[in-house]
Amino acid sequence: MERLSLRILLGLLVGAVLAALLGPAAIEWRWLAEPLGTIFLRLLLSLVLPLAVSALVLAVAELQPGALVGTGGRILALTLVLTSIAVGIGVALVELVKPGVGVDRATLPAGGAVTPATTDAVQAIIDLFPSNPFKAAADGNMVPILVFAVVAGLALRRTDTAAAHRLAEVVRGVFDVCAQGVQMVMTLAPVGVGATAYMAVAKGGLTALVPVANFALVAALALGIQTFVVYPIALRLLARTDPVAFFRAVRPALAVAFATASSAATLPTTLRVADEGLRLQPETARFVLTVGASANQNGTALYEGVAILFICQLYGVDLSLGQQAVVVGVSVLAGIGTAGVPAASIPVIAAVVGAFGVPPEAVAVLVGVDRVLDMCRTTVNVAGDLVIARIVGGERA
């Protein structure tokens, strides 16, 4: 995984530097660079609808009824509060710094026309619930599709028939195949990202990369605030725990999370740290951490909120307060439904930006830095799981 991240960064640098060295002549190689970047992106976007919908349906359908009361209720409340705070921090920083404002849009990825979301607050709420989900998908308006997925997941959970169980297996199969498809496509990322960077610099010079660098800094700062400000406050107030001792005890899990960029792959180490380092009650810790590996994605939700607003700024889409609230809500929801595997956020972000009239191809600007930020946000995700486990579980006698 680390090697792929390095190859992607190398591809970004090679593409940008090559275009800069060629100068005005760089655009003459558009016939090669533009198809490579576009094909890579379209392969990734082809997985948007099935991956986002199947992940969210499964996340809702697999919630256990008993997990909504008692200890599970506390876990759910903490998850929602911490995730909402994380997204709020990210959105506030993007609005304050505005990393995507003032960019030459000629250097940005283009795409087909997308039906923009309405600016009327009441109608925006109504439009979250599609009368025809297939039409919403065809229009590129993916937010109602995510709402439809939640409803479908709830219905699937409440239907105890053999046919419903088979449908759940089919949905899981779709999710597994699409998740694997994302990993396969990402192996092409060094070439795709390099070609995209080449075209951006060929059209706008090296200054075309500045907004992406600013975005990465804003996202990293927001993730840092969540980890080193919000989590310590929660540990002090709710668990009466020394944050320094806590982070010292969980370092192995955070190291694995950063290296693998996967909450799911980190789970064995997270469970071991909870048992040996934090000495938590095993039953509660296992429940919290197992559920959290897929349903408590603070860092992912924060990143998605930052990325959505950044892309909207790039394309000159000025979101109202109501629309920003929708971004926060969708990011929190997506943080619960996003797969705990590398690069799972890219299809979700592509699905959401279309609701605001931005072409899904816009996610191309993120791919070059996404892998490094993926490692950072996964570390925040795992830290958040352990914080909740410490608050809810308590130490063994």
Neighbours of 379 (CB within 10 A): 23
Please list the pLDDT of the chain residue by residue as tens digits (397 residues).
456 667 877 887 888 889 888 888 888 888 888 888 888 877 876 776 787 678 778 767 765 555 445 566 777 788 889 988 998 999 899 999 988 887 766 656 665 544 444 445 566 567 668 788 877 777 656 667 777 887 888 899 889 899 999 999 999 898 888 878 877 887 887 888 788 778 877 876 666 677 888 899 999 999 999 999 999 999 999 988 999 999 999 988 888 788 667 776 677 788 888 888 888 877 677 777 776 666 667 888 899 889 999 988 888 888 777 778 878 877 777 666 555 555 567 777 877 787 777 877 788 778 777 777 887 888 999 999 999 989 887 665 5
pLDDT at 1: 47
Kindly give, in sequence order, each residue whose CB lies less than 8 Å from that of residue 18, ignoring residues fewer than 6 positions away: 26, 198
Tokens for 288?
A: 């919290």
Among residues 59, 10, 324, 302, the alpha carbon closest in space to that of 168 is found at: 59
pLDDT at 113: 44
Tokens for 387?
A: 């914080």
Backbone angles phi, psi at 369, to 5 degrees: -105, -5
67 burial type by CB count under 10 A (0-12 exposed, 13-18 middle, 19+ buried): middle
pLDDT at 68: 45
DSSP H/E element including 397: none
pLDDT at 358: 81
Could you give the CA distance from residue 339 to residue 35 in angstroms, rounded to a whole number?
A: 29
DSSP state of 226: I
pLDDT at 239: 87
pTM: 0.67
pLDDT at 5: 60
Q: All domains of the chain, ordered by start, with CATH?
A: 2-393 (1.10.3860)
